Amino acid sequence: MKDVWGGGGLRVALATVALGLLLAAAGCGGGSESSKVAEEAGCEDVSAPEPKDVTLPAPKQTVKPGEKLTATVKTSCGTFEIALDTKTAPKTTNSFAYLAREGFYDGLDFNRIVPGLIVQGGDPAGDGTGDAGYKIAEPPPADTKYSKGVVAMAREFEEPSGQSGSQFFVVTSIEAGYPPEYALVGEVSKNYAVVKRISELIGPKNEEPKIPVLIEEVTIEKG
């Protein structure tokens, strides 16, 4: 399971049967309760995405270190922007931009909310186990701090420092307190309020949003 740790430790994996029931229930959509929650939160009332099995080849390096790139993340709860840290993490930002341009993130969701810590998405399986079919490694600097608005890649607990696939998280605490082992993507540069809106959708189940939050589209712009 792709995860980040700190404080409460590793996320406990949901049983397959329980996950199936959850997806079936969420997939119905349009219920009066979910519609009410979505309306109150300022989000669209959407259905949970179906799990996908995706395998992509690792990308060629096209991002130039230090070039200015912005990722625009359109979600069912609004749109926010990420200034990609191409200087510190050229390989990781190259992979993130590649996945965005391939449409990999479109139609996935933010499937995990750790209250007061992070929101996490980009998993095609929908249960914390999926990725794009390849891995890259780019350990962050030793002095890296995961502060509010920082975007980084999730990793398996046993994986090497800086290894990542497709899952990413946005820090919602003042300081997450994570060790410098999660590859950097960048920092939210516009409309952090949307991330905050998502982070407040804390459901009754362990770290799962009370309503589905879709990633409708991720686009990359230069300059």
Using the Cα atoms of residue 10, residue 11, residue 17 and residue 20 in order, give the sign of their dihedral: negative
Over residues 186-201, the pLDDT tens digits come to 999 999 999 999 999 9
7 band by pLDDT with thresholds 50, 70 and 90: very low
Report whether 71 contacts 172 (CB < 8 A): no
Q: Quick one: DSSP state of residue 105?
A: S
d(C-alpha 78, C-alpha 75), whole Å: 5
Please provide the size of the chain in residues: 223
Q: What is the dihedral of CA 77, 78, 79, 85, to 10 degrees?
A: -40
pLDDT at 25 over 50: no
Question: Which domains does the chain show, CATH number per domain?
Answer: 16-222 (2.40.100.10)
Q: Which of 2-16, 115-129, 140-154 comes out lowest in average pLDDT?
A: 2-16
Over residues 92-127, the pLDDT tens digits come to 999 999 999 999 999 999 999 999 999 999 999 998
Residue 26's SS3 state is: helix
Query: Looking at residues 132-153, what average pLDDT do you find?
Result: 97
